[in-house]
Amino acid sequence: MAVSLKQSISDVLRAAGSLSDNAAAQVSGPVRTGIDLGTATCVLVTIDEEGAPVWIDATPTAAIRDGVVVDFAEAAAATTRLRARAEERLQRELTTAATCYPPCVGEAESRACRFVLEAAGFEEVSLIDEVSAANLALGVRDGVVVDVGGGSTGVGVFRNGSLELLDDRPGGGHHLDLILSGAFGIDQDEAERRKREGSDGEFLSILRPGFERIAQNIADLTRGADDLDVHLAGGALMYPGADSVIAAFLDRTVHSYPNANLITPLGIARSVA
């Protein structure tokens, strides 16, 4: 089945990708900030009035697992660092921000995400589920939006622009690391390094069962929505060729995007009122 690369939002994401290596863009009008407290990475995105990113920063962390804050102090410290750096680069105080939680995480856990941002000095904090956030960036009217991060696969079915179904399952980049780690007899950190640095997809055949398992999860979570295209957000499926494996397994059209790990953080920022 076809894999297509969407334009427009892709241009925004490409520009966002280069921002992560550069100084902040000049901005004079109001800004909005989103923080993705991910299992693998905490990402902060600040956008301008048009919704385009002006500052992006990220820090690896083990303080959050699938939306559950497992080390509050470390999560707050990481968020405080991200906020301080953003304020310094943008030359302004940031007091309002949004953050997200995986679809099936409980209310108490999602509240903990809010407390992390408050502990980092944000006075006004809003919450959104990660799939709705991803779709605020992608703008899919009819389609399945999937966010595959380090630990979990969140899935949302959108029809006529409305969210019809929201669900998630364990399974993401960490599980792919486990496959590589087992195949080569290396530890998980080394597996993660090799997976990211092997840019030509050399491990695709080894990782294929992992991608197919993610595809099976997507199929299971979207029964009755087989007529809809699938849109891939999240870092785990940025591995070269992963989108084609998913498309072939599902026998559906799959849309992939550059810098897909920035889709949800961008959408979180766009969710700020």
Ligand X SMILES: Nc1ncnc2c1ncn2[C@@H]1O[C@H](COP(=O)(O)OP(=O)(O)OP(=O)(O)O)[C@@H](O)[C@H]1O
DSSP letter at 25?
Answer: P
Backbone angles phi, psi at 25, to 5 degrees: -70, 150
CB-based contact 258:243 (threshold 8 Å): no
Contact letters for Mg ion, residues 23-42 (x by CB under 5 A): ---------------x----
Q: Which does 235 bind (CB under 5 to 8 A by kind): Mg ion, ligand X, none?
A: ligand X
The closest alpha carbon to 154, from 98, 106, 108, 221, belongs to 221
The token pair at 161 is: 């622009």
Q: Residue 38, interface with ligand X (CB under 6 A)?
A: yes
CB of 192 to ligand X, least distance (A): 5
Q: Residue 169, interface with ligand X (CB under 6 A)?
A: no
CB-based contact 80:121 (threshold 8 Å): yes
Cβ proximity to Mg ion, 105 vs 120, nearer residue: 105
Selected binder of ligand X within 18, 161, 182, 196 (CB under 6 A): 196
Q: Residue 151, interface with Mg ion (CB under 5 A)?
A: no
Cβ proximity to Mg ion, 38 vs 241, nearer residue: 38
CB-based contact 246:215 (threshold 8 Å): yes
Cβ proximity to ligand X, 41 vs 222, nearer residue: 41
How many residues sit close enough to ligand X to count as binding (CB under 6 A)? 22
Cβ proximity to ligand X, 66 vs 243, nearer residue: 66
The token pair at 64 is: 């959050």
CA 270 from chain center: how many Å? 14
- Which residue is listed with tokens 């939006």? 145
Cβ proximity to ligand X, 94 vs 266, nearer residue: 266
Q: Give the binding range for Mg ion (CB under 5 A) out of 48-56, 114-122, 144-152, 248-256.
A: 144-152
Q: Residue 151, interface with ligand X (CB under 6 A)?
A: yes
Contact set for ligand X, span 59-98 (CB under 6 A): 66
Name residues whose C-beta falls within 8 Å of residue 32's C-beta, 6 or more positions apart in sequence: 46, 47, 96, 98, 269, 270, 272
Characterize the bridge pairing of strands 68-69 and 64-65.
antiparallel
| Contact footprint for ligand X (CB under 6 A) | 36, 38-41, 66, 149-152, 172-174, 192, 195-196, 234-236, 238-239, 261
